[in-house]
């Protein structure tokens, strides 16, 4: 790369972006790579064919941690200079080849370089992954900017090229890349001095560097012929083939479904999906060679719970959606990341609903994806969906709930507004027009506008270009049966400044009345009045919560909506979304928390899993914010939770049939855990009985759907032998799913010594780098655990920075977990003091978001501590004498 300089020839004209000069256009890479599993290096040769777009006398390529041995440059087949002069800029990760000769516009240029790279353990670039038996495989992870760790390249999404890959390895090794195998030959090894096989793959279509992938290692596979092209699931030798059958079936169905929906064939000759033992993300959509965390691709259908099945389906469908959104049609630059991730997220829900309608995923969307988006976007430190990014280290920070969840929520909103048929038609037009190319958001709006005949851009531009969303305050006018709506930007801290409240969002109101839902009404001004057909007896804004805003009703209207819910007039999405809005608005100062507690109490006869999930989310948010408050108040809140959910837990029970309904399974699990952790004695006894059998080796005694709850209860209330039994099971469990559940539960202990041991797991080598955050999360359940975790982070900061480079996103996650549990101004000051003067590159955005979250909780406590205590006292959960 080279920094933008307005007076330098050949640089980009995009202000602030650090990108490569535009003098040369890559056309084809011919790459040969040979990993060395003894020295943890690899030998590489790159032959890069370029076209000269403008006269220039140098070639700039992205490289990182590559030792370049030889370089030659040919123009129209003639050697330009030998040897050329090379210089390296570590700040921009750019190697510049000075030629001492001018390349002329239109010339064909070939750059040939040999080099050695590091087969690192950072889960980035071309890296090594360790199997449970200690053997290694070499795998890649190039998104966002780590292809440069594997070969010199033009490492930007718009600089697409074709690729021919050759991998050199021992005979026993499997070699995979994006394309199918073209030939296998025997060659001289640069590493062993002997002979090795060289597997050459067919030339790829045009694609971005971040989508290239290759793997070398001992692997086995299962396959299916249920799709017109070969599909395989690959795994390491110790893993069970049958654990990949579900993913294989989902992939075959989904590829066929997407081809039909998009009216565009999957353009590669095969699809490989590979379970990688060490993987920083959940999965990566490399074209034709998708890589996954083991837990997101493989699972034992007999010993895994319903939530695991749903997660695997969603991840597989998300990555397959990328084969069109991201791979065939690619964002122009990373500020358009949402075009990749928002689309893939929306499509995964869309296709999941097609194959598994009984899962009712659009109901879950409201409490999962939508609330995730609204939660982050309600912080002052949020960012627009289309966020300017300038440097490589900034890019990974926008792989967040804005790009994924808000992006997909924006698409859900526009699909409701246009109608699903018009929306999908627009998507088809978008793919057809821009296949093999790069796009910006305006290209999508144009395609949707063409399909629907509606002015999409004027409605949607604000939602992607501006940060945040509004709260709509409702005033009722009884005389003429109208409502006056006023929009203001919403912040969770409740302290919006006038200069932060200048944006007017085009709000698709989704007005529900007795006559149905009006999807055409849009609030475009600061304040507007709308007539309600049939009068004010029944109405609700944001039907099914398909739009991005929160509604601030009067207390009287909330009461009427509660009555409407009990009368069956509100959908599951309506009920869950209404509870979410009420809870978040009270926490932000738009109402009193006592009102929300009363609202939650009125839902004690609710029958649906998704609504109960949101009820308990609101209670947990309250308990987390009050975690450093007086013990008597905390016990009263726990008693409220117990009173609310215990009866439902016992009504549902915790026995599971072999063919149990998917949602009912999750419902039973939710209520068992929520009541048990709130103190239900029968559930605690049941959990102990299950775990005692589990400790004796009867691992089936704890049903997969109850593992998380039983483990949490036992570690919280048990002794060191229980904690040790769970740690032992972490090491011996046959599936990644169960190991992860063990790891997340260990921090639930209330013993300070065991807390310290749990924290030690993160860095003592027992836990893979990809899972470092897991043992940390459990400590959020106690105030002492939150404090001890922060002290651990401070003590081990240098080691954490070394183990988790910013490019991995893992450091950002660890920082967020270690600081966001705080609730007090003095704790906020302590966090600020620790990070003052430290290099926050790669996690500054997420740190700011965590600090904003602390501010929001501190403000909530200041406003409503007395209000909550009074309500708990008045309702018999708290004795005045204990205050």
Looking at the predicted structure, is the pLDDT value of residue 128 above 50?
A: yes
Q: How far, CA to CA in Å, does 283 sit from each of 162, 280, 406?
A: 23, 8, 20
pLDDT in tens, 506-525: 999 999 998 899 888 999 99
Sole residue written with tokens 């905390």: 634
Looking at the predicted structure, is the pLDDT value of residue 11 above 60?
A: no
Sign (positive/negative) of CA torsion 261, 262, 268, 272?
negative
Looking at the predicted structure, is the pLDDT value of residue 303 above 90?
A: no
Looking at the predicted structure, is the pLDDT value of residue 9 above 80?
A: no
Which H/E stretch holds residue 254? helix 245-262
Looking at the predicted structure, is the pLDDT value of residue 3 above 80?
A: no
pLDDT at position 4, please? 24
Count of beta carbons in the 10 Å neighbourhood of residue 688:
16
Least confident of 238-252, 393-407, 825-839: 393-407
State what percent of residues in the chain have pLDDT above 70.
97
pLDDT at position 1, please? 20
Q: Who wins on pLDDT, 390 or 793?
A: 793
pLDDT in tens, 152-189: 999 999 999 999 999 999 999 999 999 999 999 999 99
pLDDT at position 12, please? 35
Q: What is the mean pLDDT of residues 19-24?
A: 90
pLDDT at position 403, please? 85
Distance CA 153, CA 47 (A): 10
pLDDT at position 833, please? 97
pLDDT at position 259, please? 97
Looking at the predicted structure, is the pLDDT value of residue 739 above 80?
A: yes
Looking at the predicted structure, is the pLDDT value of residue 30 above 70?
A: yes
pLDDT at position 15, please? 56
pLDDT in tens, 422-436: 999 999 999 999 999
Quickly state the pLDDT bin for 308 (edges 50, 70, 90).
Answer: very high
Long-range contacts of 100-105 (CB under 8 A, 24+ apart): 100/57, 101/57, 101/75, 102/55, 102/56, 102/57, 103/23, 103/24, 103/52, 103/55, 103/56, 103/57, 103/75, 104/52, 104/55, 104/75, 105/52, 105/53, 105/54, 105/55
pLDDT in tens, 608-629: 999 999 999 999 999 999 999 9
pLDDT in tens, 692-733: 999 999 999 999 999 999 999 999 999 999 999 999 999 999
Looking at the predicted structure, is the pLDDT value of residue 13 above 50?
A: no
Distance CA 848, CA 840 (A): 10
* Exposure string over 531-570, b if 16+ CB within 10 A, otherwise e: ebeeebebbbbbbbbbbbbbbbbeeebbebbbebbeeeeb
pLDDT at position 301, please? 86
Mean pLDDT over all residues of the chain?
93
Distance CA 678, CA 655 (A): 20
Mind listing the domains of the chain with CATH numbers?
Answer: 23-216 (2.60.40.1730), 219-328 (1.10.390.10), 329-465 (1.10.390.10), 470-557 (2.60.40.1910), 638-882 (1.25.50.20)
Quickly state the pLDDT bin for 19 (edges 50, 70, 90).
Answer: confident
- Catalytic residue numbers? 319
Polymer length in residues for the chain? 883
pLDDT in tens, 776-792: 999 999 999 999 999 99
Looking at the predicted structure, is the pLDDT value of residue 309 above 60?
A: yes
pLDDT at position 835, please? 96
pLDDT at position 807, please? 58
pLDDT at position 10, please? 29
Distance CA 484, CA 536 (A): 12
Q: What is the mean pLDDT of residues 637-665?
A: 95
pLDDT at position 16, please? 62
Distance CA 32, CA 281 (A): 26
pLDDT at position 14, please? 52
Q: What is the mean pLDDT of residues 92-113?
A: 94
pLDDT at position 2, please? 20
Q: What is the mean pLDDT of residues 338-360?
A: 93
The radius of gyration computed from the CA coordinates of the chain, to the nearest angstrom, equals 28
Distance CA 414, CA 452 (A): 11
Token readout for 251 is: 């992939």
Quickly state the pLDDT bin for 883 (edges 50, 70, 90).
Answer: low
Q: What is the mean pLDDT of residues 540-550?
A: 96
């Amino acid at each position: 790369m080279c920094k933008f300089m307005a007076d330098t020839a050949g640089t980009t004209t995009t202000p602030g972006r650090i990108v490569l000069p535009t003098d040369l256009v890559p056309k084809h890479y011919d790459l040969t790579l040979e990993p060395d599993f003894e020295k943890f290096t690899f030998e590489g040769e790159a032959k890069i064919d370029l076209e000269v777009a403008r006269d220039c006398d140098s070639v700039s390529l992205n490289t990182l941690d590559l030792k370049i041995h030889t370089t030659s440059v040919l123009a129209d087949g003639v050697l330009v200079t030998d040897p050329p002069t090379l210089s390296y800029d570590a700040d921009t990760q750019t190697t510049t080849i000075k030629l001492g000769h001018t390349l002329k516009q239109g010339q064909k240029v070939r750059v040939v370089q040999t080099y050695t790279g590091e087969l690192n353990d950072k889960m980035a670039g071309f890296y090594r992954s360790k199997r449970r038996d200690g053997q290694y495989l070499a795998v890649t992870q190039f998104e966002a900017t780590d292809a440069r760790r594997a070969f010199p390249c033009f490492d930007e999404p718009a600089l697409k090229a074709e690729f021919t890959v050759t991998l050199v390895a021992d005979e026993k090794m499997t070699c995979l890349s994006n394309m199918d195998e073209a030939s296998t030959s025997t060659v001289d090894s640069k590493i062993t001095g002997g002979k090795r096989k060289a597997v050459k793959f067919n030339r790829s279509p045009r694609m971005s560097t971040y989508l290239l992938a290759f793997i070398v290692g001992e692997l086995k596979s299962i396959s299916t012929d249920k799709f017109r092209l070969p599909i395989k699931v690959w795994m390491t030798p110790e893993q069970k083939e049958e654990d990949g059958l579900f993913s294989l079936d989902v992939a075959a169905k989904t590829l066929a479904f997407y081809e039909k929906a998009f009216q565009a064939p999957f353009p590669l000759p095969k699809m490989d999906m590979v379970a990688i033992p060490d993987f920083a993300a959940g999965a990566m959509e490399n074209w034709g060679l998708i890589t996954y965390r083991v837990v997101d691709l493989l699972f034992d259908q007999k010993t895994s719970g319903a939530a695991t099945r749903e997660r695997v389906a969603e991840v597989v469908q998300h990555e397959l959606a990328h084969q069109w959104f991201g791979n065939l049609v690619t964002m122009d630059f990373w500020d358009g990341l949402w075009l990749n991730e928002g689309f893939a997220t929306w499509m995964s829900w869309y296709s999941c609903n097609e194959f598994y309608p009984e899962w009712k995923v659009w109901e879950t969307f409201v409490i999962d994806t939508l609330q995730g988006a609204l939660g982050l976007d309600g912080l002052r430190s949020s960012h627009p969906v289309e966020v300017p990014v300038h440097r490589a280290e900034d890019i990974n920070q926008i792989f967040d709930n804005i790009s994924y969840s808000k992006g997909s929520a924006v698409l859900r909103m526009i699909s409701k507004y246009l109608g699903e048929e018009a929306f999908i038609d627009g998507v088809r037009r978008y793919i057809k027009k821009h296949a093999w190319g790069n796009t910006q958001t305006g290209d999508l709006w144009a395609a949707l506008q063409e399909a629907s005949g509606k002015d999409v851009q004027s409605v949607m531009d604000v939602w992607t270009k501006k940060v945040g969303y509004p709260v709509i305050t409702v005033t009722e006018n009884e005389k003429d049966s109208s409502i006056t709506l006023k929009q203001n930007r919403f912040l969770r801290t409740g302290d919006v400044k006038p200069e932060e409240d200048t944006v007017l969002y085009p709000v698709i109101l989704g007005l529900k009345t007795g006559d149905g839902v009006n999807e055409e009404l849009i609030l475009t001004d600061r304040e507007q009045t709308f007539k309600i057909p049939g009068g004010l007896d029944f109405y609700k804004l944001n039907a099914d919560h398909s739009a991005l805003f929160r509604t601030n009703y009067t207390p009287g209207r909330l009461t009427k909506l509660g009555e409407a819910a009990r009368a069956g007039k509100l959908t599951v999405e309506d009920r869950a979304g209404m509870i979410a809005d009420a809870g978040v608005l009270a926490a932000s100062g738009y109402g009193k928390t006592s009102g929300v507690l009363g609202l939650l109490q009125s839902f004690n006869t609710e029958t649906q899993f998704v609504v109960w999930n949101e009820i308990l989310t609101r209670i947990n948010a309250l308990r987390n914010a009050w975690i450093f408050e007086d013990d008597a108040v905390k016990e009263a809140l726990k008693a409220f939770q117990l009173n609310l959910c215990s009866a439902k837990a016992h009504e549902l029970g915790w026995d599971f049939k072999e063919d149990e309904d998917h949602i009912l399974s999750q419902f039973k699990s939710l209520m068992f855990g929520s009541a048990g952790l709130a103190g239900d004695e029968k559930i605690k006894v049941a959990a102990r009985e299950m775990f005692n059998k589990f400790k004796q080796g009867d691992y089936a005694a704890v049903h997969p759907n109850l593992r998380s709850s039983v483990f949490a209860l036992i570690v919280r209330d048990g002794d060191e032998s229980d904690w040790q039994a769970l740690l032992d099971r972490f090491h011996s469990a046959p599936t990644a799913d169960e190991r992860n559940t063990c790891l997340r539960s260990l921090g639930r202990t209330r013993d300070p010594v065991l807390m310290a041991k749990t924290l030690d797991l993160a860095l003592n080598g027992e836990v893979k780098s990809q899972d470092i955050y897991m043992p940390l999360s459990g400590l959020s359940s106690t105030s002492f655990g939150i404090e001890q975790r922060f002290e651990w982070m401070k003590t081990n900061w240098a080691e954490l920075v070394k183990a988790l480079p910013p490019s991995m996103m893992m450091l950002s996650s660890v920082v967020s977990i270690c600081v966001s549990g705080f609730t007090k101004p003095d704790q906020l000051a302590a966090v600020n003091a620790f990070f003052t003067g430290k290099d926050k590159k790669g996690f500054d955005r997420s740190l700011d978001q965590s600090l904003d979250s602390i501010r929001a909780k501190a403000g909530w406590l200041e406003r409503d501590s007395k209000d909550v205590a009074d309500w708990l006292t008045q309702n018999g959960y708290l004795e005045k004498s204990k205050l």
